[in-house]
Amino acid sequence: MTSLTEADERNRIADVRFDERRMYVLLQDGREISVPLWWYPRLLRATPEQRDNWQILPFGDALHWPEIDEDLDVRGFLTGARAPGATGETAPRAAHGFCLSDRPILATAGGGMVYFTAPAVMPRTM
């Protein structure tokens, strides 16, 4: 019989939402993970309706999109695992000398403890 580790218990998914460039995964403990859509070409090419047709898999730490045959898990989001064929779109550059990070961004809702954070902006390399 398979048992869940404490980390797996903390990584249960509560909700998923999208904007035009990113996917946001809300975990049950209040953390939110944000990853760029270009990391997952099937999701990037999917219609908004196909993106919104997702299911949480039985252990609660993975997602399935039946219409586009895509499966992704929290552990992959946290480690920066990209889908095969994700050809690095360069991070957009801002005029003030910083570029937006394409690393996962994890924050907490309601001012709780931050377990992992990647900067939203980082210095642009010349």
* Segment 46-61, tens digit of pLDDT: 999 999 999 999 999 9
What does the buried/exposed string (b/e) look like for 6-44 if buried means 16 or more CB atoms within 10 Å of the residue's CB? eebeebebeebeeeeebbebebeeebbbbbbbbbbbbbb
pTM of the model: 0.67
Residue 23 is predicted with a pLDDT of: 97
Residue 7 is predicted with a pLDDT of: 57
Q: How far is CA 102 from CA 18, 68, 80, 112, 113, in A?
A: 15, 23, 9, 24, 23
Pairing mode, if any, of strands 22-27 and 31-36? antiparallel
Cα dihedral 27, 20, 79, 16 in deg (nearest 10): 20
Q: Is the pLDDT of residue 28 over 80?
A: yes
Block residue for tokens 């219609």: 47
CATH class held by domain 6-121 = alpha beta
Could you tell me where the DSSP H helices lie in 52-95? Answer: 74-79
- Average pLDDT estimate for 5-10: 68
Residue 3 is predicted with a pLDDT of: 52
Cα separation, 46 vs 52, whole angstroms: 10
Residue 87 is predicted with a pLDDT of: 82
Mean model confidence pLDDT for the chain: 76
Residue 67 is predicted with a pLDDT of: 97
Residue pair 23/40 in contact (Cβ under 8 Å)? The answer is yes
Cα separation, 107 vs 114, whole angstroms: 6
Condensed to tens digits (0 to 9), the pLDDT of residues 59-98 reads: 999 999 999 999 999 999 999 999 988 886 644 443 333 3
In the chain, where the domains are located: 6-121
**Which DSSP letter does residue 117 get?**
-
109 against 60, higher pLDDT: 60
